Structure 1
Amino acid sequence: MLLPHYPWPSHSNRAHPPDEGCSDYIIDIRLRVNMEDVLTGFDLTVGSGDAGISLHHPVIASPMAGVFDPPYRRILHDLGIELSYTEMISSRGIYEGSGKTEEIAGWIPEIGCSAAQIFGSEPVYLSHAAKEMERMGHHMIDINAGCPKRKVLVQGSGGALIRTPERLLACLGAVLDSVRIPVSIKIRSGYHTFEKGPFLDLVKDISSIGVSCIALHPRTVAQGFRGSAERGLIDEVSSLVDVPVIASGDVRERSDVVDYLRRGARAVMVGRALMGDPLRVKRLINGGTHDPLSTVEGIREHLKRAREHLVHSVNHYGERRGCVRFRSHLGWYTARFPGRKRIRDRIFHVSSTDETMDLIDNIEREWTSIPSTGNIKYSR
C-alpha cells in the first residue's frame, strides 16, 4: 500500500494536495506492507531530505513522564528502538527558560531519532518551544493533546485541548508554521465520552492542516488507563485520513503490534509494558513469547541491562542524583522478584553507584539461586 505524496512549501511545514510545481518539497511518507505478514518488508519514512525519519520496524517508544528519560531511552535504542519520544515538555517552561524543563528537553545522539513532545494551550508558547526543540536537534515535534493528568488538564493542556477544537487547531497551526521538521499530534478518542461524529470531524481537520502523522490512544481522557483500548477505532481513523496513524494503548506482545497494523496503523507506541522490561523490545520487534526471566541466562541478561541503565543515569545526572533517579527503575526491573517488598525497601536506601551495583549483584545471586525460576509469572 503506497500513500500519496504531499508537497512541502518552502515557507511552511504544512502539507497540501499534490502540486507538480512543488516537487522539491515533497514530504515522503511511504509504507510497504506484505499483507501475508504485516511486518515483512516494513518501511516507513516520515519527512524529506535531511529531515526524513526512516523506520525499519513499527515499534516506537512512547512519551512517559518520569520513565523514558535519556538514560533509559539510550537502553531502548541499543535494543532496537529507532524512534522514541521525550517526556512531556512544558512549552511555557521553555518559553520562560525553566532549567528543569530544558533538562527534560535535552537530546543526545546515543538515543537515536527523537520526537520532542510539547504540551500547552497557548500558540505563542508552543511555537517558541517547537523552534527550540528543532534547534536542540530533535527530529520531530509532537503536540500532546491526550494527557489525562489533572495538573495538565487544569491548564487547558493535554487532553483538555480535545474540548476546544479551535484552540487545538490554532496551536497545531502555530507549530507547523514554526519548524521544518515533521510535526505530529497525540490524541485520545474523546474527553468524557466518545462522540463519533465530532471526533472524526476533528481527526479530519487535524489531518488536513498538515501534520505528518497522528498518534491515537483509543481511550477517552476520563478513562485514563482503565478498561481496554477500543482498537476498532484505529480501523476507522486509518481509513479516514491520508497521513500515517500510530496506534497507542495496550501494546504488550508482538501479536498486539500485528493486530494494530492489520487494522491500518502504520506503527505502534509502547509505554507501560517497557517499564523495567527493556528486553521486551526484542520480542516486539523479532517475535517470540519466551519469558526471559524463566532461565538463569535470561535473569542475568535482564540485570545486565539494569546495570547499564545505572551507568547511563549516573553519567547523565551525576552520581547521587543519577542513583536516586534510578531507584524507581530498579523497582520496576525487580517487580517480579519474590520478596519484592523487601527488595524495594533496600532499593530506596541506596545513593551511590557502588551501593546500587552491590544491591543488583545481591539480587542476581538470590534470583538465580531459586530452584525453579520458571515459576515466576510473566505478565504486565
Structure 2
Amino acid sequence: MAFSIGNYSIEKPVILAPMAGVTDLPFRRLCHQHGAGLVVSEMVTSDVRLWDTNKSRMRLIHDAEVAPRSVQIAGSDPTMMAQAARQNVELGAQIIDINMGCPAKKVLNKAAGSALLQDEPLVQKILESVVSSVDVPVTLKIRTGWSPDQRNGLSIAKIAEQSGIQALAVHGRTRACKFKGEVEFDTIAAIKQAISIPVFANGDIQSAEQAKQVLDYTQADAVMIGRAAQGRPWIFREINHYLEHNELLAPPSTDEVQAIVINHVTALHDFYGSFMGTRIARKHVGWYLQTLADTTPFRSQFNRIEDAQEQLDLLNEFFAS
C-alpha cells in the first residue's frame, strides 16, 4: 500500500500525526522504529522572530531526523509562511506540512490552524505562496470545516490540489467539534473521491481493526494516528501487521514494554539534557502507565524525581515488581 508524496515513496500506510509537545525527535524516531511510514514534527510557528526560544530551537533540529523529514508550520500570513517554509528547508526539512487543523485557542486567536478554514481565498493565497517558495513537496492538514453548518472541507481540498499541495490529511471533525463527537468518515471518503492526491484519514483511530475499517470505508491512502500512539508507539506495527495478514499481532511482552520505556526515557534525557529531560519524561511515562492500566501510586512517586538516573532506576524497579 505504498503511496508517494512528491518524489518520496512512503511504504507503510500509517502516519504519526504532528502533536505539539508530544512528537519531538525522540518520539518520532520511536514511532518510526515501530512501523510509522511517515512521522511529522511538532508545529513550528511561522513567525521566525520567535524561533529564538528554547522550545522552538528544539523543534527546529532536523538533521538527525527520520527521512523523509516532514516539518509542520502554522500561521496566517502568506509571506511569513513562505519564509518559514524556506528556512525550515534550509535547516533540512524535506516535506513542509501546513497546519489548518489545529483547534487550540492559542493557535486560533492568531487566526491560524483551523480558523483559516473560514477564509477560502486566504487559504489559497497561503498554499500558493508556500508551494511556490520551496522546491520540496508541501502537504496540508485540515478539518472537515469550521463548524457543523460550515463544512467546506471538500472545497478546501480542491483548492489544495489546485494550489500544488501533494498530500492532504483530514481530521474528521469540524473546528467547533474540537476532539468531541463522532468522526465524519463520510466527509473524508467524499474528499478522497474528489481529488487525486493522497488523502490521510485522521481522528480517533485507536486500534488495528479500526484502522482497517477506516481505510476500507474512506479508501484513504493512509491513516494518521495521533493520541492513540501516546504510551503505545507499537500501535503502528499492530496496524501494519493487521493490514498485511488480517490477524491481530500479540501485544508486546512486559519485558519489551520495559525496554521501550527505558530507551525512550534515556533518549529524552540525551536530547533535552537531564533537567528538561526528566520533566518531559513524566508525561510520556504517565501515558505508558495508562496503557499498562497501572493504578498504583507509582506515577506520583515518579513525578517527584528530579534526577535522570534515579528515574531509570525506579522504572526498572517498577517493571521488576
What range describes the TM-score normalised by the shorter chain of this pair?
over 0.9
Whether 1:133 aligns to 2:88 is yes
1:218 paired residue number: 172
Whether 1:62 aligns to 2:21 is no
Gaps of 5+ in 1: 1-41, 367-380
Whether 1:45 aligns to 2:11 is no
TM-score of the pair, normalised by structure 1: 0.79
2:73 paired residue number: 118
Amino acid at match of 1:123: P
Gaps of 5+ in 2: none
Alignment of 1:1-380 (within 5 A): 42-47=1-6, 52-92=7-47, 94-99=48-53, 100-196=55-151, 198-262=152-216, 263-287=218-242, 288-289=247-248, 292=251, 298-337=253-292, 340=295, 342-366=297-321
Query: Which of the pair has more CA radius of gyration?
Result: 1
Following the alignment from structure 1 to structure 2, what is the Cα–Cα distance between the partners of residues 63 and 79? 16
Following the alignment from structure 1 to structure 2, what is the Cα–Cα distance between the partners of residues 120 and 340? 41
Amino acid at match of 1:276: G
User: How many residue pairs were aligned?
Assistant: 315
Following the alignment from structure 1 to structure 2, what is the Cα–Cα distance between the partners of residues 341 and 68? 27
- Is 1:146–1:187's contact at 8 Å kept on the other side of the alignment? yes
Q: Could you give the per-residue CA deviations for residues 1-36 of structure 1, whole angstroms, max 9, x where no partner exists?
A: xxxxxxxxxxxxxxxxxxxxxxxxxxxxxxxxxxxx
Q: Could you give the per-residue CA deviations for residues 233-261 of structure 1, whole angstroms, max 9, x where no partner exists?
A: 12211110111111111222222332233
Following the alignment from structure 2 to structure 1, what is the Cα–Cα distance between the partners of residues 294 and 266? 25
Amino acid at match of 1:125: M
Q: 1:274 to 1:165 in 2, by over 3 A?
A: same
Percent sequence identity over matched residues? 30
Following the alignment from structure 1 to structure 2, what is the Cα–Cα distance between the partners of residues 130 and 325? 27
Following the alignment from structure 1 to structure 2, what is the Cα–Cα distance between the partners of residues 224 and 179? 31
- Is 1:53–1:139's contact at 8 Å kept on the other side of the alignment? no
State the 1:194 CA deviation.
4.5
Following the alignment from structure 2 to structure 1, what is the Cα–Cα distance between the partners of residues 155 and 123? 13
State the 1:192 CA deviation.
2.0
Amino acid at match of 1:318: G
Following the alignment from structure 2 to structure 1, what is the Cα–Cα distance between the partners of residues 315 and 60? 30
Q: 1:338 to 1:236 in 2, by over 3 A?
A: closer
State the 1:65 CA deviation.
0.9
Amino acid at match of 1:83: L
- Is 1:122–1:171's contact at 8 Å kept on the other side of the alignment? yes
State the 1:223 CA deviation.
0.9
State the 1:117 CA deviation.
0.7
- Is 2:143–2:153's contact at 8 Å kept on the other side of the alignment? no
| Root mean square deviation of aligned Cα | 1.7
- Is 1:229–1:250's contact at 8 Å kept on the other side of the alignment? yes
SS at match of 2:71: strand
Following the alignment from structure 1 to structure 2, what is the Cα–Cα distance between the partners of residues 89 and 119? 6
SS at match of 2:232: coil
Following the alignment from structure 1 to structure 2, what is the Cα–Cα distance between the partners of residues 351 and 291? 35
SS at match of 1:186: strand
Amino acid at match of 2:228: A
Amino acid at match of 1:332: W
State the 1:95 CA deviation.
4.1
Amino acid at match of 1:184: T
State the 1:113 CA deviation.
2.2
Following the alignment from structure 1 to structure 2, what is the Cα–Cα distance between the partners of residues 149 and 59? 24
State the 1:338 CA deviation.
5.5
Following the alignment from structure 1 to structure 2, what is the Cα–Cα distance between the partners of residues 338 and 177? 48
Larger deviation, residues 105-114 vs 144-153: 105-114
State the 1:116 CA deviation.
0.6
- Is 2:269–2:278's contact at 8 Å kept on the other side of the alignment? yes
Following the alignment from structure 2 to structure 1, what is the Cα–Cα distance between the partners of residues 291 and 230? 12
- Is 1:82–1:113's contact at 8 Å kept on the other side of the alignment? no
SS at match of 1:265: coil
Amino acid at match of 1:85: V
Following the alignment from structure 1 to structure 2, what is the Cα–Cα distance between the partners of residues 267 and 290? 19
